[in-house]
């Protein structure tokens, strides 16, 4: 069962509206909105329709449970690994079908002497965290050395990739926005 008051409050807060602002948009009192959000009163269907219109939604969307079925937790069975024998590295997509998301997290393993593919400049941002080993991040003409526990974050306006010049395997989490791997 849907908690109408809580869902109205959550929707209102997501939009950055105060109770007063919602009340003004619906020609209702702030007190009524407050009581509604605390489930101390119930709106008529017409009033609920007016409130939802002011919140940029409608009855069908408001009562839809589609969002609650969105997959949130991913296990190793959900993940996909691509191994590149030529570059001596592998990429594990931690969130399958990340193209629908704003970001794409991957787990990268790079053997000694290996590297990732060169990534061309693109919109967005890149973030990474070195879980083990040591790598060199190449961004344009810069070579940046990173060790276990280091992280990186940059706007990918130049060609970029990672090289493992050490004698041990390196592992890192790499997150790209928008998805580009």
CATH of the domain at 123: 2.60.120.10
Mean pLDDT of 107-125: 95
User: 16 and 56: one domain?
Assistant: yes
What is the CA angle 9-70-49, rounded to 5? 35
Mean pLDDT of 18-23: 94
- Domain enclosing residue 54, as ranges: 4-69
Strands (E), 26-169: 80-84, 89-93, 104-110, 125-132, 134-139, 142-147, 151-154, 160-163
Q: What is the pLDDT of residue 69?
A: 61
Give the residue from 145, 140, 135 showing the smallest Cα distance to 167.
135
User: 105 and 46: one domain?
Assistant: no
d(CA 61, CA 80): 33
Could you tell me what percent of the chain has a pLDDT over 70? 93
| Count of Cβ atoms closer than 10 Å to residue 82 Cβ | 11
Kindly report which listed range (120-124, 127-131, 136-140) carries the lowest average pLDDT score: 120-124
User: Of the residues 52, 69, 86, which one is the last residue of a structural domain?
Assistant: 69
d(CA 57, CA 54): 8
User: 50 and 87: one domain?
Assistant: no
Q: What is the pLDDT of residue 87?
A: 95
Q: What is the CATH number of the domain that holds 9?
A: 1.10.260.40
Q: Is the pLDDT at 181 greater than 60, yes or no?
A: yes
| Distance set, CA 146 to CA 69, 132, 136 (Å) | 39, 10, 6
Mean pLDDT of 53-81: 82
Q: What is the pTM of this model?
A: 0.63
User: 51 and 80: one domain?
Assistant: no
User: 56 and 86: one domain?
Assistant: no
The token pair at 103 is 């970001």
User: 169 and 84: one domain?
Assistant: yes
User: 45 and 130: one domain?
Assistant: no
State the pairing for strand pair 142-147/134-139: antiparallel
Q: Domain count of the chain?
A: 2
User: 86 and 173: one domain?
Assistant: yes
User: 80 and 154: one domain?
Assistant: yes
């Amino acid at each position: 069962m849907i908690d109408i008051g809580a869902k109205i409050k959550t929707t209102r807060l997501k939009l950055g509206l105060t109770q007063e602002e919602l009340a003004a948009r619906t020609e209702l009192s702030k007190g009524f909105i407050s009581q509604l959000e605390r489930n101390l009163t119930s709106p008529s269907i017409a009033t609920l329709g007016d409130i939802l219109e002011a919140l940029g939604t409608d009855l069908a969307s408001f009562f839809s449970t589609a969002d609650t079925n969105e997959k949130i937790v991913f296990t190793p069975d959900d993940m996909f690994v691509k191994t590149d024998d030529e570059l001596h590295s592998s990429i594990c997509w931690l969130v399958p079908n990340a193209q629908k998301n704003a970001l794409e997290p991957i787990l990268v393993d790079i053997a000694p002497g290996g590297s990732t593919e060169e990534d061309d400049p693109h919109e967005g941002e890149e973030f990474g965290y070195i879980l083990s080993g040591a790598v060199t991040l190449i961004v344009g003409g810069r070579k940046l050395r990173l060790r276990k526990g280091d992280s990186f974050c940059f706007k990918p306006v130049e060609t970029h990739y990672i090289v493992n010049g050490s004698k041990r395997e390196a592992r890192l989490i790499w997150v790209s926005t928008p998805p580009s791997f």
